[in-house]
Chain A
Amino acid sequence: DIVMTQSPDSLAVSLGERATVNCKSSQSVLDSSNKKNYLAWYQQKLGQPPKLLMYWASIRESGVPDRFSGSGSGTDFTLTITSLQAEDVAVYYCQQYYTTLYTFGQGTRLEIK
């Protein structure tokens, strides 16, 4: 199994400031044949299902604000939220879809400082 480990488990950021969530996979999720990273990010607000934010590590899903961006390759990935808004309070998850056992990180809880 590919184990996905996120850091930190929680963070508090002031409104308008930058928030950074990290995700590390226990093995590479980069397919060298197509140079794509099989990594997605989700946002889960309280009482709601997860919502897809990013796929291929850095491609924003339609309708996702451009203050959300994804980066990284291989085993280390980052979700960045520039200029944090109140509606961004949520738990964020990474997920790999490189292998046929699809696994998620444990989640990072983002709060307003």
Chain B
Amino acid sequence: QVQLQESGPGLVKPSETLSLICTVSGASISNYYWSWIRQSPGKGLEWIGHMSYSGRSNYNPSLKSRVTISTDTSRNQFSLKLSSVTAADTAVYYCAKAALAGLMYFDCWGQGTLVTVSS
């Protein structure tokens, strides 16, 4: 059974970098595609980006200039960095697994972590 767990600071100051880690169990990070998705009251569910098992990344164009997703195969983790955050980046952040390589519907989600951007 695949499980995902997000971790990271719940409070980030404006203009700083949001950093989250997703720890995967029950599946190898070297398989599948791994995504970050966020949910805020104002914008609903928003796909941020993904990293593939081959190391290819794809980002939402609206966030591309500020986002980096990377994997750590030794720890079976993947991470999200979002720079220059503002209050608009306040959201629940989910990590998720795509069901099949290249088919980006999400069959496993982490519980989510609330990140608040505030000074």
Contact = CB atoms under 8 A, between A and B. Distances in A.
Indicate, yes or no, whether A interacts with B.
yes
Interface of A: 40, 42, 48-52, 55, 61, 93, 95, 97, 100-107
Identify which of B96, B106, B112 gathers the most chain A CB atoms within 10 Å of its CB.
B106
Given A49-B112, A52-B99, A95 B44 contact: no
Contact of A55 (B61, B99, B110, B112): B99
Contact of B45 (A48, A52, A100, A104): A104
A101 B103 contact: no
A97 B47 CA distance: 11
Contacts of B107: 52, 61
A100 to B, nearest CB: 6
Interface residues of B, number: 19
Interface of B: 44-47, 58, 60-61, 94, 96, 99, 103-107, 109-112
Nearest to A51: B109
Given A50-B106, A106-B44, A101 B94 contact: no
B47 A103 contact: yes
Contacts of B106: 40, 42, 50, 52, 95
B99 to A, nearest CB: 7
